[in-house]
Amino acid sequence: MGVNVESEMQRTKSAHREELKRFDQRVVRAMDKEITLVQESLAQASVPLMTPTQDPGKIASQIRVLRLLEDMLQT
């Protein structure tokens, strides 16, 4: 009835890693949905280049547009 502490620690660490992986995946999916909602709202407001996309290049362009608009509002 001995307890193998090392193997128990490994199982616990492995379970912890898997749970963190599942959590990260849920967070990424939620963030992707939120980004899409924002893109749709900005597209409806006729903000240039705003269309729902997951293309990193297009998202980078959208960020530049938003920064430009933000700078214009601050002056």
- For 30-66, the pLDDT digits (tens) are 999 999 999 999 999 999 999 999 999 999 999 999 9
> Which residues, in sequence order, are CB contacts of 50 under 8 Å at separation 6+?
39, 42, 43, 62, 65
Boundaries of domain holding 56: 5-74
Spatial contact of 53 and 59, defined as CB atoms under 8 Å apart: yes
The whole-model pTM stands at 0.72
Q: Which segments of the chain does DSSP mark as H helices, in order? A: 5-44, 56-74
Domain count, the chain: 1
Q: Percentage of the chain surpassing pLDDT 90?
A: 91
Q: How far apart are CA 46 and CA 49, in angstroms?
A: 9
pLDDT of res. 75? 78
- For 9-36, the pLDDT digits (tens) are 999 999 999 999 999 999 999 999 999 9
pLDDT of res. 2? 59
Q: How far apart are CA 75 and CA 69, in angstroms?
A: 10
